[in-house]
Amino acid sequence: MTLPADSAGLPHADKHVKIVGAGLLGASVGLALTRQGIDVWLTDASPTAEALACDLGAGRPLADAGDMTPDLVVIAVPPDVTAHLVARELTLHPHATVTDVASVKGHIRTALRGFVDGGQLSRTDLARYVGSHPMAGREKSGPIAARADLFAGRPWVVCTGPHTADADHERIVELARRVGAAVVELDADEHDSAVARVSHVPQVMATLTASRLNDAPVESVALAGQGLRDVTRIAASDPALWTQILTANSEQVRIVLEEVRGELDTVIDALGSTSGSLGVLAGAFVAGNDGHARIPGKHGAAPTSYATVTVLVEDRPGMLGRLFTEMGEAGINIEDLQLEHANGQQYGLAEVSVLPAERGPMIDELRARGWNVPE
């Protein structure tokens, strides 16, 4: 389809977007683009993830695309298979720009250069690849966790190589802007060094803090307040994904963790000594205050909090799909969904998160359509 130039001054473009990997990131990109009327085609190694992402409105199944040729391919799969799929898509679609959203960039660039050296990928094809990384995500995985506004106001790193054509670079910049992100241009090494500090080591710290709870008495854990919750939210992230991210950026992560180890030793020593320890401890807290003060806001966007509505969904095929469709018809966007399913029960519980202003109208609308929405 032909898109009009929009208020952001983005150019007219024929846009067919293929997304490989319909999980959290892929489905979120799909939702954001589909809402702008862009033709999105989704494919995933998991047929369930693909079908669910399509049901949620993130695009259409690639199998129905016929001879559609994409202008843009977005690879949103785990880091360990990203380079392989980038190379495959570059070869498969000789006129498409190909990007990936993996959390590491140098590792993928090195693998792609290896494919060129090994003759599996042509240098000309590689020139159409532009690595990227939206600095937005969640501790949850899969299409069910996807959100159309995931990227709004967030940085989106674009890594342009020395041989990248302007048109391919522009297409990825346009993609990031269309989903509401703020473009940051970095090379792959700068990116990996920066994210070790602002993303990968924070993930390790949250994880190690949360794992201290494992042997604690249940009465101690029950005292958990907001501080612990703030510090450990991302400890609920996917272990397989993070194992890949850390190993792919091990050198940079080690550098920052060595710094942390140094500071940790200083704090431990201060706690075990009597003279001068208060100054050392206070110094550590002041340094933390200073670092915290340097964290920018979410590029001007207000944080979104959601209201939930519980719907009793009859346990028979197609009912959940009908719920999604009818909410779509009513113009209500599903921001999140939790399903509770008791074996042998006639009903499942769907806890649907929506924008707070949409909660009342949604309850009225669903009840009018015959859905069981308890008080």
Ligand X SMILES: NC(=O)c1ccc[n+]([C@@H]2O[C@H](COP(=O)([O-])OP(=O)(O)OC[C@H]3O[C@@H](n4cnc5c(N)ncnc54)[C@H](O)[C@@H]3O)[C@@H](O)[C@H]2O)c1
Ligand Y SMILES: O=C(O)C(=O)C[C@]1(C(=O)O)C=C[C@@H](O)C=C1
Of 72-80, 131-139, 162-170, 354-362, the segment contacting ligand Y by CB under 6 A is: 131-139
Which H or E element spans position 40?
strand 39-43
Of the candidate residues 234, 253, 256, 362, the single one contacting ligand Y (CB under 6 A): 234
Answer whether 242's CB lies under 8 Å from 199's CB.
no
Q: Could you say which of 55, 71, 139, 315 contacts ligand Y (CB under 6 A)? A: 139
Shortest CB 137 distance to ligand X, Å: 2
The C-alpha atoms of residue 85 and residue 75 are separated, in whole angstroms, by 7
Which one of 103, 132, 160, 164 is in contact with ligand X (CB under 6 A)? 103
Q: Which does 78 bind (CB under 5 to 8 A by kind): ligand Y, ligand X, none?
A: ligand X
Give CA torsion, residues 98, 103, 108, 110, to 10 deg. 130
Indicate left, alpha or beta for 119 from its phi (over 0: left) and psi (-120 to 50: alpha): left
- Cα distances from 105 to residues 130, 207, 219, in angstroms, run 10, 23, 43
Options 58, 62, 87, 102; binder of ligand X; rule CB under 6 A: 102
- Select from 17, 135, 204, 332 the one that contacts ligand Y (CB under 6 A): 135
Distance between CA atoms of residues 34 and 271, nearest Å = 55
199 binds, among ligand Y, ligand X, none (CB under 5 to 8 A by kind): ligand Y
* Binding status of residue 112 toward ligand X by CB under 6 A: no
CB 131 within 8 A of CB 101: no
Cα gap 194→105, rounded to integer Å: 11
Q: CB-wise, 81 or 312, nearer to ligand X?
A: 81
Other C-beta atoms within 10 Å of 375: how many? 4
How far apart are CB 133 and ligand X at their closest, in Å?
Answer: 6
Strands 72-75 and 97-100: parallel
The residue from 122, 199, 207, 308 that contacts ligand Y (CB under 6 A) is 199
30/17 Cα distance (integer angstroms) = 9
Asked if residues 113 and 144 have their Cβ atoms less than 8 Å apart, the reply is no
Determine the size of the site formed for ligand Y (CB under 6 A).
8
If one asks whether residue 320 binds ligand X (CB under 6 A), the answer comes out as no
Q: Which of 31, 33, 42, 49 binds ligand X (CB under 6 A)?
A: 49
Angle between helices 319-329 and 359-368 (to 10 degrees): 120
C-beta of 159 vs 313, nearer to ligand Y: 159
Q: Which does 76 bind (CB under 5 to 8 A by kind): ligand X, ligand Y, none?
A: ligand X
Binding mask 79-98 for ligand Y (x = CB under 6 A): --------------------
Nearer of residues 242 and 347 to ligand Y, judged by Cβ:
242
Give the three-class secondary structure for 107.
helix
Residues 56, 226: Cα–Cα separation, whole Å: 32
Site string for ligand X, 162-201 (x = CB under 6 A): ----------------------------------------
Task: State phi, psi for 345 to the nearest 5 degrees.
Answer: -85, 155
Q: Which does 57 bind (CB under 5 to 8 A by kind): ligand Y, ligand X, none?
A: none
Q: Which stretch binds ligand X (CB under 6 A): 2-10, 107-115, 136-144, 358-366?
A: 136-144
- Characterize 95-130 residue by residue with b for buried, 16 or more Cβ atoms within 10 angstroms of its Cβ, and e for exposed: ebbbbbbbbbbbbbbebbeebeeeeebeeebbebbb
Q: Which is nearer to ligand Y, 139 or 315 (CB)?
A: 139
Tell me: does residue 23 bind ligand X (CB under 6 A). Answer: yes
Which string of DSSP letters, residue by residue, matches 273-305? -SSSHHHHHHHHHHHHHHHHHT---STTPPPP-
Q: According to the binding rule CB under 6 A, does residue 77 interact with ligand X?
A: yes
* Residue ranges in 28-47 that form contacts with ligand X under rule CB under 6 A: 44-46
Q: How far is the CB of 62 from ligand Y (least distance, A)?
A: 25
Give the interface with ligand X as residue ranges (CB under 6 A).
Answer: 20-26, 44-46, 49, 76-79, 81-82, 85, 101-103, 134, 137-138, 141-142, 241, 245
Give the interface with ligand Y as residue ranges (CB under 6 A).
Answer: 103, 135-139, 199, 234
